Amino acid sequence: MALLELNNVTVSFPSPDGTMLTALEGMDLSVNKGELVAMVGPSGCGKSTALNVLAGQVVPVTGQVRLAGQTVEGVLPSVGYISQADTLLPWRTVLDNVALAMELRGVPKKERREAARALMAKMGLSGFENNYPRELSGGMKKRAAIARVLAVDPAILMMDEPFGPLDALTKEKLQDEILSLWESTGCTILYVTHDLTEAIALADRVVLVSQRPGRVVREYPIDLPRPRRVMDVKFLPRFVELEKAIWNDLQTELRRGEGEL
C-alpha cells in the first residue's frame, strides 16, 4: 500500500479577474513508505500545489488524498515541510529557531535546547547557537531550517525547491546531507525541484508534471546505485542517459505550453 496518494485530484484557485484558475486536474500520484520521489515540471505547473495538497495544507475541489489508506483531513503532524523561502524568525537566536517546533509541541525548555544543540552539531552549526539568522550565510540558514524540521523526527519530509537560491557548491553539499539523512533514517521524502540534475541524483523515482493544469505525464525509475553522492553519480553514463530522456519529455511539455499562449 502507498503511504501517500493523490487520486484524481483537481485544485482550483480564484484569479484576480474573478475566474477560477485550475492548478491541478485529475492528478494521480503515489509515494511508497521510505521512498525518495522528486517532482519536476515546467514553472507554474502545480508541483508545489500537489505538495501542499499531500501535506493537508490545500483542500482539493475533487478527488481523494490519503495517508496510509486514510483520508487526509487537515495538516498532517507527521510531515516536516522545508520551503525555498527563509523561514527562520529573525528575532530568535539560531538555537531557539531550531528548538521552535519542539517548543510548539510542549517539550520542556531544557530538553528542547539540548536536542537543538545536538542537531546543530550534526548540521555543522556548533558555535552559532547564540547568533541571529541575519548573521548566517544562506547555506547555514538552510541547515538551521532543516534542523528545526528534523527536531520533531518527521516520518515524511516534504521539500519545495529548498536549495534554489544557493550557490552550486553549497547546494551540492546540502544535497549530499539530504541523501545521508534519508539513508540513515529511512524517512519518506517528496521533493519538488526544477533542477533535473538534483532530481536524478537524489531520487528513487522522478515524476514529470505537465503544463498547468498539472497531472503526472510520466514516471522514471532511477536505477543508479546506492549509496550515492551527487558528484559521483552525475558523470555516470546511465545518469546522462536518464537526464537526456527526462529533458526531452520536459521540452515537449514546455513547447506545448508555448503553443497555448
Q: For 200-211, what is the mean pLDDT?
A: 95
List pLDDT tens digits, range 12-44: 988 888 788 899 999 999 999 999 999 999 988
Cα atoms in the Cβ-side hemisphere of radius 13 Å centred on 13: 10
Both 121 and 136 in one domain: the answer is yes
Both 191 and 170 in one domain: the answer is yes
CATH number reported for the structural domain that contains residue 236 in this entry: 3.40.50.300
- The number of domains in the chain is 2
Partners of 157 in the β-ladder: 80, 189
Both 177 and 250 in one domain: the answer is yes
Both 173 and 251 in one domain: the answer is yes
The pLDDT score that the predictor gives to residue 15 is 82
* Per-residue confidence band for 258, with pLDDT thresholds at 50, 70 and 90: low
> Dihedral of CA 94/96/98/101: which sign?
negative
Q: How much of the chain exceeds pLDDT 70, in percent? A: 97
Residues 26/212, Cβ–Cβ less than 8 Å: no
> Dihedral of CA 111/115/121/125: which sign?
negative
Residues 102/50, Cβ–Cβ less than 8 Å: no
Q: What is the pTM of this model?
A: 0.87
Q: What are the φ and ψ backbone dihedral angles of 120, each rounded to 5 degrees?
A: -65, -40
Both 204 and 189 in one domain: the answer is yes
Residue 53 has pLDDT above 70, yes or no: yes
Which carries the bigger pLDDT value, residue 213 or residue 152?
213
Both 143 and 234 in one domain: the answer is no
Residue 261 has pLDDT above 70, yes or no: no
Residue 121 has pLDDT above 60, yes or no: yes
Residue 259 has pLDDT above 70, yes or no: no
Residues 42/211, Cβ–Cβ less than 8 Å: yes
Both 228 and 166 in one domain: the answer is yes
List pLDDT tens digits, range 122-163: 888 899 999 999 999 888 888 898 888 888 888 899 999 888
Q: Nearest-CA neighbor of 162 among 135, 191, 140?
A: 191
Residue finishing a domain among 111, 128, 154: 154
* Per-residue confidence band for 260, with pLDDT thresholds at 50, 70 and 90: very low
List pLDDT tens digits, range 222-241: 999 999 888 889 899 999 99
Residue 45 has pLDDT above 60, yes or no: yes
Both 40 and 97 in one domain: the answer is no
Residue 204 has pLDDT above 90, yes or no: yes
Residue 251 has pLDDT above 60, yes or no: yes
Q: How far is CA 115 from CA 3, 92, 100, 103, 104, in A?
A: 28, 17, 11, 11, 14
Residue finishing a domain among 154, 182, 208: 154
Both 116 and 235 in one domain: the answer is no
Mean pLDDT, all residues of the chain: 88
* Per-residue confidence band for 78, with pLDDT thresholds at 50, 70 and 90: confident
Residue finishing a domain among 105, 125, 154: 154
Q: For 191-212, what is the mean pLDDT?
A: 93
Both 115 and 221 in one domain: the answer is no
List the domain range (segments joined by +) for residue 133.
84-154
The pLDDT score that the predictor gives to residue 257 is 64
Both 173 and 254 in one domain: the answer is yes
Both 150 and 161 in one domain: the answer is no
